[in-house]
Structure 1
């Protein structure tokens, strides 16, 4: 009897201030083509490093790119050591093609191209957003959920249909993670481990709800006006509004907006599952509010912890290897990166 078929993928993620290297293995029963069966997923390595500027400052693309160039080789060595593998064991190299910040994306794509030529391994350009979704599905076991994707650069409500992840609603201006990050700068909160995490800790100590603009337009949301409003309160009336109450009110207001549009998407497609992915998806209060809504609909919320919701290399390996198993690779002359790679531009061939 022939042995089971395995595919091992290396994933490189560097679309923002997180640099991640991950290795995953998919195992398929013998005699059945990989394209016809869902694989057994195994995590072999998940190594990450974060560029954190000083408190009160954001990060510049050139500084993030320098961070990635400096640390990519040490992280690669750590990942291979953790997996107890050599480059010869890898079947494909997956990298983030977009969306994200230009300079960091370019620095990691250059490494992927170089490794591909040195090791003679095929490349798979991967959509960052689809990586989050497929990582969430693999870890939680969610079957056909409405996906709330919330991060520093993206805010989308997504559902799957006909081999495409369809966007039901999204932010009309800045992402929710960007809003939280920018308000953290106003309060001069540390960037370590992340501005959003530190806002969450402040919010847990808040008790007074401060009315803020609530901007839902159909299935879309807007956060820029909320940010301007609360920034003005923090700067003009610091004695009246505590940082804890401001953080509490900001979270409650914006999360309620997200719950509203997610619930409408669930009603539209008849789903009872919600999968929360992306860096802001780690927020316990967001998970709690989403859970209350889902329970009222006799549904369930699926979420992951910081190992997987924050940008990482294995999510890129996971989405990439699913495409690779169906024969998808990226030719060298098509390995350019794009900051505007939308979720609904991906052919999700690995789903029915």
Structure 2
């Protein structure tokens, strides 16, 4: 029902449409989201468990990986269950407080993911370019401080988004043409001046996510420069192989984020369901792909997973043997 000149307050609830234009495929889209969510939960929890129990993985690189997995779990869990409930059970209503909370979690943890990818690039730079001072420079205490600093930066940068939203006035239908409470999708509900909201969202994107990406590119330029100075081909390949997982994680995250942002801001003629699907991909794909990437590319993690499965299989065999 249209809301004419209604101040946005905690009494308002919104309607999330899901993926407008693809209603006949909601069951199948929901199934894809559900499978991706289950795999991402299993993968990230397995990664966290293995890093915790394996002492040889208590190094800065894997501590940053723990942070990345934790961020992915929060990012996916704050959005995908609601998206599935919309697609499967038509549970479209979301209360004002829940919508703002979801908006905050989505954008703050996406910002944190960008920051941790930058920290991991810094880790690889030190390991390859200054290997003799790596352990003395990047201590576990410094890793904790870096993580807390990036957490504070993300919260401080994103917190104004819901605060700025509260000053707006609703004068359109309370229907969000999206599957979750994305900042720009919610701001479009207002007919008051949203220039400040749009500008601040753009500033956060440019001066945090874009800046992180530029610093990552700079880190890898220095890494490549150092790698190509190595004497043998084998040593160059070995150095580059330590960066392979991180490069894949960077591409998965930034390609989806940049593509979604560009289409959202400039793709006025692009169908709404494309906007929604692209925005959903950058929430679903990194949590799904990152554990697989690091599981496949990291021998220590592979070996520990194999040990766990071998141990469980032996237990089953022993149990069967004892039953006879």
State the TM-score, normalizing by the size of structure 1: 0.30
Q: Which has the larger helix fraction? A: 2
Task: Report which structure shows greater RCO (CA 8 Å, sep ≥6).
Answer: 2
Structure number with greater Rg is 2
Q: Which has the larger strand fraction? A: 1
